[in-house]
Amino acid sequence: MEKKKVLITGASRGLGLAISKKLSAEYTLILHASKPESFTHVEPGSHILCADLSDGEQLTTFCKQLKKEHGDSLYAVINNAGLTHDKPLLFQPEREIDAMLNVNLKAPILISKTAMKIFGLNKTGVIINISSVVGESGHAFQSVYAATKAGLVALSRSLAQEAGVLSEEGHSIRVFSVSPGFIETDMTDAIPQVEKEKILSMIPAKRFGKVDDVADAIAFLLSDKAAYINGTNIHINGGLI
């Protein structure tokens, strides 16, 4: 039987790369990054679809290509690509604000729109939006980043309800968000040591998260065993908040 297709955005590094390694045996993967050169590892048999998601034109082309090339058997979308520019809002240039809004929020919205068209025809599908603990807790110097991540939680809850309203009986479309805490990747590598120690002291698990802590959860959430998980936000943070 043909494997179902799963799109993972931001699959060149960090969480997206770990998720791709975890899912590759069971699914055919569509791997996204800002550009092909970003990949140092690609799971065999995967498709590559690149776009700089801060660029409106590239985002539109990406969505069209996704529908045209993979619409037949797209089963799930993991909106994982993201970026942060940590600094006081007072000193944040508008281009950084736009980049965070576009990559972290507008792109998942438009990719979800494309996916909903496909899932409506296929009568099944899953959208997982990768949010963040700071979408709920907030964090100094991450006001815009946190706002985009809170937006993803609201988007997921609303879209899950919308899918329920629009779907006929027999459709199974699930939408939810996943909020990692502090996971060791390039993104968190940039955080100053003193800040890392402060965060560590607030984690009951007494360690930072590993990429596989998130990837294992995603594999479960995509599976039929998670068929009744919908419209919610799932925290993976060792107890941090």
Residue 80 or 156: which CB sits closer to ligand NAP? 80
Span of 61-69, 166-174, 175-183, 193-201 interacting with ligand NAP by CB under 6 A: 175-183
Tell whether residue 13 is a contact of ligand NAP (CB under 6 A).
yes
Q: How far is the CB of 241 from ligand NAP (least distance, A)?
A: 13
Starting at the earlier edge strand, list the strands of the sheet with 5-8: 47-48, 28-31, 5-8, 74-79, 124-130, 172-180, 233-236
What's the token pair of residue 42? 């690609």
3 C-beta neighbours (distance < 10 Å), count: 14
Query: Total residues contacting ligand NAP (rule CB under 6 A)?
Result: 28
Residues 39-78 that bind ligand NAP (CB under 6 A): 52-54
Here's the x/- map for ligand NAP, 82-111, by CB under 6 A: it reads as xx-------------------x--------
Whether 228 is catalytic: no
Span of 5-13, 169-177, 199-207, 225-233 interacting with ligand NAP by CB under 6 A: 5-13
Span of 23-31, 89-97, 110-118, 178-186 interacting with ligand NAP by CB under 6 A: 178-186
Tell which one of 35, 41, 64, 198 touches ligand NAP (CB under 6 A).
35
Tell whether residue 233 is a contact of ligand NAP (CB under 6 A).
no
For β-strands 74-79 and 124-130, DSSP reports them as: parallel
Angstrom distance (rounded) from CA 225 to CA 51: 33
Which residue shows structure tokens 């929020």? Answer: 105
Tell whether residue 20 is a contact of ligand NAP (CB under 6 A).
no
Tell whether residue 127 is a contact of ligand NAP (CB under 6 A).
no
Tell whether residue 80 is a contact of ligand NAP (CB under 6 A).
yes
Q: Phi then psi for 6, rounded to 5 degrees?
A: -130, 125
Q: Phi then psi for 45, rounded to 5 degrees?
A: 85, 0
Strand segments, DSSP code E, in the chain are 5-8, 28-31, 47-48, 74-79, 124-130, 172-180, 233-236
Tell which one of 27, 75, 176, 182 touches ligand NAP (CB under 6 A).
182
Who contacts 224 (Cβ-Cβ below 8 Å, separation ≥6)?
none
Catalytic residue among 27, 75, 145, 228: 145
Tell which one of 6, 7, 8, 15 touches ligand NAP (CB under 6 A).
15
Q: Give buried/exposed letters for 75-109 (b at 16+ CB in 10 A, else e).
A: bbbbbbbbbbebeeeeebeeebbebbbbbbbbbbe
Which residues are marked as active site? 145
Binding site for ligand NAP (CB under 6 A): 10-16, 33-35, 38, 52-54, 80-83, 103, 130, 132, 180, 182-183, 185-188
